[in-house]
Amino acid sequence: MLFDNKALKRLIIPLIIEQILAITVGMADTMMISRAGEAAISGVSLVDMINNLLINVFAAISTGGAVVTSQYIGKKRKDLACSSAKQLIYITVLISLGIMVLTIVFRIPLLNLLFGTIDHDVMKNAITYLIISAISYPCLALYNSCAALFRSTGNSKISMQISLGMNIINVIGNAIFIFHFNMGVAGAALASLIARSSAAVIMLILSCNSQNEVYIDHIFKLEISTPIIKKILNIGIPNGFENSIFQLGRVVVVSIISYFGTVQIAANAVANNLDAMGCIAGVAMNLAMITVVGQCVGAGDYKQAVYYTKKVLKLTYVITICINIVILITMPLILSIYDLSPETLELATILIFIHDGIAMILWPASFTLPNALRASNDVKFTMYISVFSMCMFRILLSYILGKHYGMGAIGVWIAMVVDWMFRATCFIGRFVSGKWKLQKI
């Protein structure tokens, strides 16, 4: 077996801890910013939707690099694995710099296009937060790529440790800039920029260590490998398009919610924070699935690929159910930390019940299982299903239920559940059919 239980624990436990840290810092940002008023928290939540859309482009390319590197490790080709690591860094830095420049230049048209109807104070906060966030894109992209390379070797402890340091810097920075200097959303964004920059530099230095199983050799010596770049992009582009459409759909959905006023925007933002906690296990398992199945596929052992897919998926369900039950039980206590109006608090509670209750049944099959398909290069199928489902259910049905039938954010979240149902059905069918095993490696 390529991964015994001990190896899986070494891979999965740090990933879960890292996701907990990421979610905790996101909640800390929201809680701290909430002290500056609902206009501030609404502006940040809207920009975070755009940030997630753009950041997912970096994550998708990193996933492509992780898949290629994992497959080369499975084939016992360390030379090609190291070469793929270097090409991944080149690609992500170049793409992230381009996105940074475009986002800063077109910040106002972008925000007006997506959220033109929001209050002036919300828009002002959104512009400030977006500019500073965009500057951090290259740092975040570099960090994600290096972390993906470590994970592809089964070493997720490094990224967990650096993530811990990054989150500590971020929280301390928030406390200083928001509370001491009263900088509001600018302080939150500046703290994130400093934290991401520090993490990126440290991760790059660690990735260049030749004692690693996979390392970046002579990073400043330009060496382009077109075949490897093509392999990375063949996975990264469809995955990036899929993720971008998903995040774009979320932005469109939030723009629909923005028509219903600041209360619903703020409730949606808070609910998203707690919902992210409920998906911690799933997000961690998504990353683990890439490494485990990618190495199995690289070794040509599809029997183990099936075995580990089922094992990781079952584990995802167990942890997801446990976490969401805890969240639902402790939700009144958690929500009391936020500085929210009674109307916002009531709506946030309803949204969290919808998400976390259904996530225990549908989320792992909708989002963790397809990563097993991606690890075997079956990226086009997952892209087609995800894009179709997002457009038809997450966007169109959200508009119909939320705006046409006047259900507001509740209607939007019901449409999300329908989206999950469709995805789960398609991905389970694809896995059972075995057609994912026929993809060219």
pLDDT level of residue 25 (50, 70, 90 thresholds):
low
**Confidence (pLDDT) at 441:** 66
Cα–Cα distance for residue pair 267/348, rounded to 1 Å: 5
Question: Are the beta carbons of 142 and 89 closer than 8 angstroms?
Answer: yes
Query: Does residue 440 surpass a pLDDT of 80?
Result: no
- Give me the DSSP letters along 110-144: HHHHHHTTS-HHHHHHHHHHHHHHHHTHHHHHHHH
Which pLDDT tens digit goes with each residue over 384-406? Answer: 999 999 999 988 998 899 888 88
Over residues 67-72, the mean pLDDT reads 90
Which pLDDT tens digit goes with each residue over 329-350? Answer: 998 888 887 777 888 888 888 9
Cα–Cα distance for residue pair 196/306, rounded to 1 Å: 36
C-alpha angle 322-163-279 in degrees, rounded to nearest 5: 25
Q: List for the chain the helix, strand, coil content (%; round to 5).
A: 85, 0, 15
Range scoring the smallest mean pLDDT among 66-80, 161-175, 335-349, 401-415: 335-349
**Confidence (pLDDT) at 222:** 83
Residue 14's nearest CA partner among 186, 204, 154, 194 is 154
Give me the helices (H) in 136-261, please: 137-152, 157-174, 184-207, 226-258
Query: Does residue 27 surpass a pLDDT of 70?
Result: no
Give the pair of three-digit tokens for residue 37.
Answer: 């008023």
Percent of the chain with pLDDT over 90: 37
Cα–Cα distance for residue pair 192/75, rounded to 1 Å: 39
Which pLDDT tens digit goes with each residue over 282-338? Answer: 888 988 999 899 999 988 899 999 999 999 999 999 999 999 999 999 988 888 877
Which pLDDT tens digit goes with each residue over 220-237? Answer: 888 888 889 998 888 888
**Confidence (pLDDT) at 123:** 86
Mean pLDDT of the chain: 87
Cα–Cα distance for residue pair 330/322, rounded to 1 Å: 13
C-alpha angle 22-269-194 in degrees, rounded to nearest 5: 40
Query: Does residue 199 surpass a pLDDT of 90?
Result: yes
Q: Is 429 exposed, middle or buried (0-12, 13-18, 19+ CB in 10 A)?
A: exposed
More confident residue, 345 or 35: 345
Over residues 266-292, the mean pLDDT reads 84
**193 CA to centre of own chain:** 18
Query: Does residue 420 surpass a pLDDT of 70?
Result: yes
Neighbours of 437 (CB within 10 A): 14
Over residues 401-422, the mean pLDDT reads 89
Which pLDDT tens digit goes with each residue over 93-146? Answer: 999 999 999 999 998 888 888 776 777 888 888 899 999 999 999 999 999 999
Query: Does residue 22 surpass a pLDDT of 80?
Result: no
Per-residue b or e along 365-385, where b marks 16 or more CB atoms closer than 10 Å to that residue's CB:
bbbbbbbbbbbbbbbebbbeb
pLDDT level of residue 26 (50, 70, 90 thresholds):
low
Place of tokens 């879960």: 16
Per-residue b or e along 116-127, where b marks 16 or more CB atoms closer than 10 Å to that residue's CB:
eebbeebbebbb
pLDDT level of residue 421 (50, 70, 90 thresholds):
very high
Neighbours of 50 (CB within 10 A): 25
Query: Does residue 414 surpass a pLDDT of 90?
Result: yes
Instruction: Show Cβ contacts of residue 349 under 8 Å, excluding neighbours closer than 6 positions.
Output: 331, 335
Over residues 346-362, the mean pLDDT reads 90
pLDDT level of residue 167 (50, 70, 90 thresholds):
confident
